[in-house]
């Protein structure tokens, strides 16, 4: 296997230390963007690497080589990917593809079900009051975004705590946190090694909404009490794709609200730079692997029967090196 393609396949192994040691030191807003973005890029990089490995084996098939007018013997000599490795990559891709489709179908089914349930109470957007003593509160996308709160949850909180709870849910909708959540969920479906990043991103989104609500009501302690009482009275969010004040590790959220707001210090900047560097490295390595495969196919297309492939590769490298040097010279 090309060494360039190993990088995007191995970098997701860094998900656990990044989520464990880097993410908690970042302000929630920065952590949310960084974790969601890195999850998407790392998932895309590992998927692209698997596609390239599988395709590198596919181009060795005589029928495919005849259709593309290249020599499979030339590719077999120039590429380091073997047929068994390519078959294995194809199987892994098929499994991950099924996981991705199933996750997307689950999300669409959940969104339709929640939308129908909320439409029964209120066809318009805004806050929907659900009848029942069971304490429930969550936000859901659709129709401009809606917040569902049960009468049981409202009864468990004081008037000021209700305002803080609603401010938290409104922050989820205003900041489009559902898009972040589905992005990290689909990324984890494409690469299960990224699950720690998805969990950390979910916590960062709840903390982001906590801080936004605290800024809106002007009382961090009030938001902390509302979150704690809602979590004690209620239960997990409505479905796996809902965002709610009761989501995530509530004790950690309450502790963070009772402490001073997080700042972007040197460690946070260094951690952000590390995560960004790893994601860029993953994307660049996948692109390099694609470029190497493309060069190999070009050489295989130019190969004539009986031609020395090593000399052809050397000629190809000299040609590209000369072109690069010429472009540098002319740019001066």
Domain locations in the chain?
3-331
Smallest Cα–Cα separation from 286: which of 5, 1, 3?
A: 5
The pLDDT of residue 294 is above 80: no
Average pLDDT, the chain: 79
Residue 326: the pLDDT is: 37
Beta carbons of 136 and 152 less than 8 angstroms apart: yes
Reported as a single tens digit per residue, the pLDDT across 165-223 is 999 999 999 999 999 999 999 999 999 999 998 889 999 999 999 999 999 999 999 99
Helices (H), 191-249: 195-217, 220-233
Handedness of CA 293, 296, 300, 306 (dihedral sign): negative
State how far the Cα of 86 lies from the Cα of 107, in Å rounded to an integer: 31
Q: Which residue has the higher pLDDT, 80 or 141?
A: 141
As a whole number, mean pLDDT of residues 77-99 equals 80
In the predicted model, is pLDDT for residue 8 greater than 50? yes
> How many alpha carbons lie under 13 Å from residue 129 in its C-beta half-sphere?
6
């Amino acid at each position: 296997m090309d060494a360039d393609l190993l990088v995007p396949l191995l970098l997701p192994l860094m998900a656990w230390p990044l989520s464990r040691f880097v993410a908690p030191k970042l302000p929630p807003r920065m952590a949310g963007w960084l974790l969601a973005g890195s999850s998407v890029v790392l998932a895309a990089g590992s998927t692209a690497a698997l596609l390239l490995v599988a395709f590198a084996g596919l181009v060795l098939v005589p029928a495919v080589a005849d259709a593309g007018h290249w020599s499979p013997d030339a590719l077999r000599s120039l590429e380091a990917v073997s047929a068994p490795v390519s078959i294995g990559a194809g199987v892994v891709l098929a499994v991950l593809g099924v996981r991705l489709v199933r996750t997307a179908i689950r999300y669409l089914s959940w969104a339709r079900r929640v939308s129908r349930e909320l439409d029964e109470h209120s066809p318009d957007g805004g806050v929907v009051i659900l009848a029942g003593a069971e304490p429930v509160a969550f936000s859901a996308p659709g129709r401009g975004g809606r917040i569902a709160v049960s009468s049981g949850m409202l009864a468990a909180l004081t008037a000021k705590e209700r305002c803080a709870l609603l401010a938290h849910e409104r922050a989820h909708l205003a900041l489009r946190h559902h898009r972040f959540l589905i992005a990290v969920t689909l990324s984890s479906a494409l690469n299960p090694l990224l699950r720690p990043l998805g969990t950390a991103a979910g916590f960062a989104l709840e903390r982001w909404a906590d801080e936004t609500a605290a800024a809106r009501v002007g009382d961090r302690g009030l938001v902390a009490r509302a979150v704690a009482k809602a979590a004690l009275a209620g239960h997990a969010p409505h479905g796996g794709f809902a965002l709610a004040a009761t989501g995530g590790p509530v004790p950690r959220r309450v502790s963070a609200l009772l402490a001073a707001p997080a700042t972007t210090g040197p460690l946070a900047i260094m951690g952000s730079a590390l995560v960004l560097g790893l994601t860029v490295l993953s994307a660049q390595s996948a692109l390099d692997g694609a470029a190497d495969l493309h060069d190999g196919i070009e050489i295989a297309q130019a190969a004539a029967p009986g031609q020395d492939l090593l000399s052809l590769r050397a000629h190809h490298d000299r040609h590209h090196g000369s072109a690069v040097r010429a472009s540098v010279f002319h740019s001066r």
